[in-house]
Structure 1
Amino acid sequence: MSITSRQAKIIAPLEAKALWNELGEDFLAGPAQTANWFSFWQSCVNADCLVAALFEAERPIFLLPLEVVKRGPVRIAAFPGGPHANCNFPALAADAQITAADLTTLFKALHKTRPDIDLVSLVRQLGELDGKANPLMELQSRENANISLGIMLDRDFETVVGRHNAKRKKKKHRQNTRRFEEAGGYRIVTATTPVETNAMLNNYFECKAARLAKAGIKNTYEPAGTMQFFQQLFAHEVQSATPRFQLKALEAGGHYRAVLGKSYARQQTFIDFIGITEDELVSASPGEFLFFEDIQDSCKTDLAVYSFGIGDEPYKRSWSDLEMPSYDTDVSLTAKGRMFAGYLGARGKLVRRIKKNETVWAAVKKARSRLFGKR
């Protein structure tokens, strides 16, 4: 693709949604950088959203969806979705080649249109998606404290499960199968209607709130409109022929015991969240059981990678053979933004050091639970 006659434009929400269709059928984007995610987040959570776009010959080739938020005296543009936006990757025409000069032009246009924005802070980004490099890595970026773990699927479950303690995994799965059958039988349910998506999400929100409170962690689903956003997003996606977002649940004895939220790119699936009902069957490890079933199902598809998303946890390690770093990119638009970017860089470096030290990180989590957790 030629890189001449390119224009940068800042697009308002009402005009933005159609742009994704104009990228072409083979466009790449992180799940949280898709049209529906942007549209529902803007309508449910934060009205102050926009898209910074690059055009070539009137055709959009690069879309950077942003929401504007305030942190103290600093106004920041970030990926819409806050902490729920993970494995981020800008929307990109498959044949586009975006340069650092293009991005400089884009952020100059953003500053001209919105001089009130001090900083563009783009966090938890993938370095590549489906074999395509993230153009934002052309700018100065730093490694995020959190990595993304995943599995090469190879279209063969026996190969996948055989990499890590296959005998133990299968034995535990058989034992828990008996537990669920004794509790009244079980089934793995994929939501196919808005009624089912709402029921699964309500179960997840309730379980997640209890679990976060116990651990002394702030509930990121509490801010106004956030639960409504997920309800509208999944209810809309379930009616699509090729949904980018999907809910699955383990139902045993007539009740949901685990709920899994997933999203898709062209060649991989991402686990966005999982909630476990802590009741008489929690000792049967419903979350592990649902993962086993979902990984097995995913091996029957053309997907190449099963990503557990951002974050390092033992249950992810027990399956994973891929480690993918995530990256943060800060673009300062004002002097105030440069100062805050310096703070973010120093803070990020400290968090990385803490999380890479298993002893210190375990102590931090334990102290947080004691100080802020509910008994």
Structure 2
Amino acid sequence: MSITSQRPKIIADPLEAEAKWRELGEDFLASPAQTANWFSYWQSCVNADCIVAAIHEEDRPVFLLPLEIVRKGLFKVAVFPGGPHANCNFPAISFNAQVKAAELRAVFDALHEARPDIDLVSLARQLGDLDGKANPMMQLPSRENANVSLGITLEDSFDNILGRSNSKRKKKKHRQNTRRFEEAGGYRIVTATTQAQTSAMLEKYFECKAMRLAKAGIKNTYEPAGTMEFFKQLFAREAQSAAPRFQLKALEVAGQYRAILGKSYAKTQTFIDFIGITEDELVSASPGEFLFFEDIQDSCKSGLAVYSFGIGDEPYKRSWADLEVPSYDTDVALTAKGRLLSAYLGARGSLVRSIKKNEKVWATVKKARSRLFGKR
């Protein structure tokens, strides 16, 4: 593609923005949080101030960067719609498009002209590549995020995956917990296919998550107005699709949900977006681990290449993972104020990175946070 034939466009109208993904057709890559339904429902449920920064080749879009505008103190910042819920980010781009740094700078110049109130574009937790295609944002100054993404290289044989680490222990524990669930009244793995199921699963998940976050002294990111409704509408819409990008699964024991898993899909990967576990008499039977075991086994039959646990490093992820994928942050300052905020975010990111890489220090920080802010 010719550099001179590409032109930027800033789209604020919700209907026009939604149409741009359709104009991309089927031959595009994007992380699940950079797709049409995610953008549309976030804009309608949570933050109406959303825009799409696009690059067109002739009359068709070849690159879409969805953004929401948020206020951070004295600054206005454009971020991926979804805030902390948007992970493993990768903007929508046509397979054959070659978007260069010059085109990216042009689109940010157009953004500044259209919205001079925005100080900074801050794109966090991005993948460096997706399905072999490089993230064009990595051509701009970027830094490594403090958090990695852990994942599993999928194979047709689940036994091969188990054989990579602690196969006997995993199988034994799964058999033991199977017996416990059967003795408790029987179990089944449920995939939500109706609005009623998605709503019930999410209500249970929000309840479980609120309890766990409170105990750990962590802010509940599902509390802001409209956020829970966003997830309900998104998953309800996707449940009706023949090939959903977003999917809910649950472990049901004796007629009650004991673990709820939220997933999303790109071309050759599935991402775990969240998991919630009920704190009841069966919590010692590790319902979350049980559901992961079943879901990973099921994913081996899907033809997907990678099972990603998403952003964050936890022991249960390490017990399965053979992939460690870094994530990246890109800041583009549009004003002098934006440059100040970018410098602060860079310094803060370096500090957080150094803390999380020191296991003893990070364990101390988490323990102190729980004691100071958690509910006893």
Q: Which amino acid aligns with 1:4?
A: T
Taking the TM superposition and a 5 Å limit, the aligned residue runs for 1:294-313 are 294-313=295-314
- The structural deviation recorded for 1:301 is 1.1
Matched, 1:3 2:3: yes
**Deviations along 1:6-61, whole A, 9 cap, x unmatched?**
11000012310011111121210010000000000000000000000000111100
Taking the TM superposition and a 5 Å limit, the aligned residue runs for 1:201-350 are 201-350=202-351
Q: SS at the partner of 2:248?
A: strand
Q: SS at the partner of 1:341?
A: helix
- The structural deviation recorded for 1:4 is 3.1
**Deviations along 1:231-266, whole A, 9 cap, x unmatched?**
000000111111100000000011000000000001
Tell me, in whole angstroms, the C-alpha distance in 2 between the residues paired with 1:152 and 1:25: 25
Tell me, in whole angstroms, the C-alpha distance in 1 between the residues paired with 2:278 and 2:257: 7
Tell me, in whole angstroms, the C-alpha distance in 2 between the residues paired with 1:301 and 1:3: 39
Tell me, in whole angstroms, the C-alpha distance in 2 between the residues paired with 1:312 and 1:6: 39
Q: Which amino acid aligns with 2:269?
A: Q
**Deviations along 1:126-153, whole A, 9 cap, x unmatched?**
0011111100000010000000000000
Matched, 1:190 2:191: yes
Q: Which residue matches 2:138?
A: 137
- The structural deviation recorded for 1:2 is 3.3
Q: Which amino acid aligns with 1:374?
A: K
Give structure 1 regions of 4+ aligned residues with deviation exceeding 4 angstroms: none
Taking the TM superposition and a 5 Å limit, the aligned residue runs for 1:100-139 are 100-139=101-140
Tell me, in whole angstroms, the C-alpha distance in 1 between the residues paired with 2:3 and 2:336: 31
Q: Which residue matches 1:65?
A: 66
**Deviations along 1:93-119, whole A, 9 cap, x unmatched?**
111011000100000000000000000
Q: SS at the partner of 1:272?
A: strand
Q: Which residue matches 1:88?
A: 89
5+ residue gaps in structure 2?
A: none
- The structural deviation recorded for 1:268 is 0.4
**Deviations along 1:80-101, whole A, 9 cap, x unmatched?**
0010000000000111011000
Q: Which amino acid aligns with 1:7?
A: R
5+ residue gaps in structure 1?
A: none
- The structural deviation recorded for 1:178 is 0.2
Equivalent pairs counted in the alignment come to 375
Matched, 1:154 2:152: no
Q: Structure 2 length normalisation: TM-score?
A: 0.99
Q: Structure 1 length normalisation: TM-score?
A: 0.99
Tell me, in whole angstroms, the C-alpha distance in 1 between the residues paired with 2:298 and 2:104: 40
Could you tell which deviates more after superposition, 220-229 or 22-31? 22-31
* RMSD value, Cα: 0.6
Q: Which residue matches 1:199?
A: 200
**Deviations along 1:157-177, whole A, 9 cap, x unmatched?**
011111010000000000000
Matched, 1:37 2:10: no
Q: Which residue matches 2:371?
A: 370
